[in-house]
Homo-oligomer: A and B are copies of this chain.
Amino acid sequence: MINFTATYTDQYQLAMAHVYFENGQKDHTAVFDYYFRKLPFDGGYAIFAGLEDLLSKLENLKFSDDDLKYLREQDFSEAFLQYLKDFKFSGKIYSAQEGDVVFPNRPILQVEANIIEAQLIETILLNLLNFQTLIATKASRMRLVAGNRKLLDFGLRRAHGPGGYYASRAAIIGGFNSTSNVVAAKDFNIPVSGTMAHSFIQSYDSEIAAFRAFAEGRPNDCVLLVDTYNTLKSGLPNAVTIGKEMEERGEKLMGIRLDSGDLAYLAKECRKMLDEAGLEYVKIAASNQLDEYVIKSLLEQKAPIDVFGVGTNLVTGNPDAALDGVYKLSMSNNIPRLKISESLSKVTIPHKKQVFRLKNTNGELIGADAITMREENGIDRMYDPQEILKSLPVETCETEALLHLVMEKGKRTSQERSLTEIAEYSAKRLNSIPEEYKRFDNPHIYKVGISKKLKKEREMLLKKYKV
Give residues in A with beta carbon < 8 Å to B: 1-5, 7-16, 18-19, 22-23, 28, 30, 32, 66-67, 70, 74-75, 115, 119, 122-123, 126-128, 130-132, 154, 156-167, 179-183, 185-186, 192-200, 202-203, 205, 213-214, 216-218, 220-221, 228-230, 233-234, 260-261, 312-313, 316-319, 321-322, 324, 327-329, 332-333, 335, 337-342, 465-467
Across-interface contacts of A180 in B (CB, < 8 A): 10-12
Given A12-B195, A115-B203 in contact, is the A164-B19 Cβ separation under 8 Å?
no
Q: How far is the CA of A333 from the CA of B205 in the complex (A)?
A: 11
CB distance from A420 to the nearest CB of B (A): 17
- Other A-B pairs, 9, CB within 8 Å; known A199-B329, A229-B467: A2-B2, A12-B196, A13-B194, A19-B200, A70-B186, A159-B322, A161-B167, A162-B165, A316-B322
> Across the interface, do B316 and A11 meet the contact criterion of CB distance under 8 Å?
no
* Contact partners of A70 in chain B: CB under 8 A: 186
Do A260 and B163 have beta carbons less than 8 Å apart?
A: no
Q: Are A10 and B203 closer than 8 Å at their CB atoms?
A: no
| A312-B322, A339-B202 known; A467 vs B11 contact (CB < 8 Å) | no
**Given B19, B202, B339, B466, which contacts A198 in the complex, CB threshold below 8 Å?**
B339
Residues of B with C-beta under 8 A to A167: 160-161
B10 near A67 (CB under 8 angstroms)?
Answer: no
- Chain B residue nearest to A30 (CB atoms) is B203
Is the pair A260, B341 in contact by a Cβ cutoff of 8 Å? yes
Which of B179, B322, B337 makes the CB contact (< 8 A) with A203? B337
Residues in chain B near residue A203, CB distance under 8 A: 28, 30, 115, 329, 332-333, 337
CA distance A8 to B187 in the complex (A): 11
Question: Are A1 and B4 touching (Cβ within 8 A)?
Answer: yes
Given B158, B329, B337, which contacts A130 in the complex, CB threshold below 8 Å?
A: B158
Q: Answer whether A164 and B127 are a contact pair too, CB < 8 Å, given A182-B8, A202-B338, A203-B329.
A: yes
Measured CB to CB, the closest approach of chain B to A317, in angstroms, equals 8
What are 9 A-B contacts with C-beta separation under 8 Å? A2-B2, A4-B162, A15-B221, A19-B216, A123-B156, A228-B339, A230-B467, A233-B467, A319-B319
How distant is the Cα of A214 from the Cα of B18 in the complex, in angstroms? Answer: 9
Interface centre among A2, A16, A192, A230 (most CB of B within 10 A): A16
Cβ contact within 8 Å between A23 and B213:
yes
A28 to B327, CA, bound (A): 54
Centre residue among A162, A166, A186 by max chain B CB count within 10 A: A162
Residues of B within 8 A of A15 (CB): 194-196, 218, 221
Give Cα distance in the complex from A163 to B165, angstroms: 9
Is the Cβ of A128 less than 8 Å from the Cβ of B161? yes
